[in-house]
Amino acid sequence: MSASIAPECNSIKEKYDTCFLKWYSEKYLRGNTTSNECDELFSKYKKCLNIVLKEKGIESMLEDARKSMKDSEAE
Amino acid sequence: MKFFENVFTYDYSFPAVSLAYFLRYPNPYSRHVLTTDVIDRYVDPKTHRLHTTRLHLKKSKVPSGILKLLPKGIGGSDSSGQSYILETTIVDAKEGWMKTESRNMEWTGILSVIEKQVYQRQPNEGAVGRLEELSLEEKRSEQTTVRTTVTFHSRFGQGKLLGRKKTEHTGDHTGEYEEEAPKRGLFSSLSTAGIQRTIELIGLNRTRDAVVKSKQGMNVVLERLRSGGVVGVLEGMRQDRDAVLGPDGGPWKRVWLGGNGHASLKEDDH
């Protein structure tokens, strides 16, 4: 599995990734699109990740990138 | 602006290709991809489409050709050799398509590279179109086409060097350049257009290689998926890692940080 930018989040990320891959291949791609079985793991992973994104100053960079993405859609 | 376009067909079903897309790092052709994180993901309750935003950290040296064109201090000493890529994906499993967009988040004034891909299920003749029948296993006649479009845009010398606000990583050199840019006269603005074209061309040339590598990587992942399912892909990743690191994993960190971004990992920067 790919590594997280935040080494301390690797283990929760791996759990989440595994859950997602199972859900995606066994349910979503087979037409069962309403499910939240990985939500809990995802919010734990995100909580871990967000701390690091803030520390590294990536969060503000993300906002800018999203903005310019919207701009280019509007063009 | 420069454009790159390419159409390619995978001999795999759409579900397999879309799964491989999310699973594609690491693979033997992606040594330059250091980390991947999911920062947002949800299913749109109306369309049932899956939206995903991921952040990749890639190893990338500013090409020396571009470096030469830049004012002193930019892209040089402070450049960490890493860059952030933001990737958004929308999957519609029912209609059998996936759209992706990837863009660089830093240095967008020097060169903004936006890659868009549209993956589309190719209906095979006489096949039953019901979704429940689609499996991840290979169906011989089923194919998925991907159209890749890459846009290169340099705003070099237009006083908006880094796009928007400064970031902590690049702040030191930004101010210096932004003050300098508006003072340029007609003569230098003519050459600015030339520099922009050159920068865009260098980006274009790099992309040709990158697109080939990315297909090779996808094909490795797809082959592993066909022979062993998701477990097979994960096992393949482990084997790749062991092959590079040796069983003890000792030089892991060194390779991780010191690789040169190409398939060869034997180089040691230290």
* CB contact (8 A) between residue A69 and residue B165: no
Q: Note the pLDDT tens digit of each residue in A17-38.
A: 999 999 999 999 999 988 779 9
**pTM for the full model?**
0.79
**Model confidence band, residue B250 (pLDDT cutoffs 50, 70, 90):** very low
The per-residue pLDDT for B263 is 36
Minimum-distance CB partner of B168 among A16, A53, A57: A57
C-alpha dihedral (B194, B198, B204, B207), degrees to nearest 10: -150
The per-residue pLDDT for B62 is 72
Structural domains of chain B sorted by starting position, each given as residue range(s) with its CATH number in brackets: 2-258 (3.30.530.20)
Rounded CA-CA distance A63/A47 in Å is 18
Distance in Å, alpha carbon of B208 to nearest chain A alpha carbon: 23
Share of chain B above pLDDT 90, in %: 48
Cα distances from A57 to residues A3, A4, A73, B38, B260, in angstroms, run 19, 16, 25, 17, 25
The per-residue pLDDT for B72 is 62
Q: Determine which of A68-72, B121-125, B143-147, B176-180 has the lowest per-residue pLDDT on average.
A: B176-180
Query: What are the residue ranges spanned by the domains of chain A?
Result: 8-74
| Residue (of B3, B2, B11) closest to B215 by Cα position | B11
CB distance A70 to B85 below 8 Å? no
Does the pLDDT of residue B149 top 50, yes or no? Answer: yes
The per-residue pLDDT for A61 is 86
- Mode of pairing for the β-strands spanning B82-92 and B50-59: antiparallel
Amino acid identity of residue A26, one-letter, is E
Question: To probe the interface with B, which of A1, A2, A58 has the most B CB atoms within 10 Å?
Answer: A2
Residue B211 forms contact with A (CB below 8 Å) = no
**Model confidence band, residue B156 (pLDDT cutoffs 50, 70, 90):** confident
* CB contact (8 A) between residue A2 and residue B25: yes
Strand partners, B148: B6, B117
Average the pLDDT over B7-34 and give the result: 94
Residue A51 forms contact with B (CB below 8 Å) = no
| Residue (of B185, B186, B200, B244) closest to B66 by Cα position | B200
CB distance A30 to B131 below 8 Å? yes
Q: What is the DSSP letter of B139?
A: -
Structure tokens at B33: 């991809």
Rounded CA-CA distance B73/B240 in Å is 38
The per-residue pLDDT for A66 is 83
- Mode of pairing for the β-strands spanning B143-153 and B2-10: antiparallel
Higher pLDDT, B133 or B12: B12
Share of chain B above pLDDT 70, in %: 67
The per-residue pLDDT for B33 is 93
Does the pLDDT of residue B135 top 90, yes or no? Answer: no
Mean pLDDT of chain B: 77
Q: Which chain B residue is nearest to residue A16, measuring alpha carbons?
A: B38
Does the pLDDT of residue B80 top 70, yes or no? Answer: no
B67-70, Cβ contacts within 8 angstroms, sequence gap of 24 or more: B69/B156, B69/B195, B69/B198, B69/B199, B70/B110
Does the pLDDT of residue A45 top 90, yes or no? Answer: yes
Q: Note the pLDDT tens digit of each residue in B97-107.
A: 999 999 999 88
Average the pLDDT over A52-68 and give the result: 87
The per-residue pLDDT for B134 is 52
φ, ψ for residue A14, nearest 5 deg: -65, -40
The helix/strand/coil state of A68 is helix
Rounded CA-CA distance B41/A43 in Å is 11
Does the pLDDT of residue B254 top 50, yes or no? Answer: no
Residue A61 forms contact with B (CB below 8 Å) = yes
Residue B132 forms contact with A (CB below 8 Å) = yes
φ, ψ for residue B246, nearest 5 deg: 80, 160
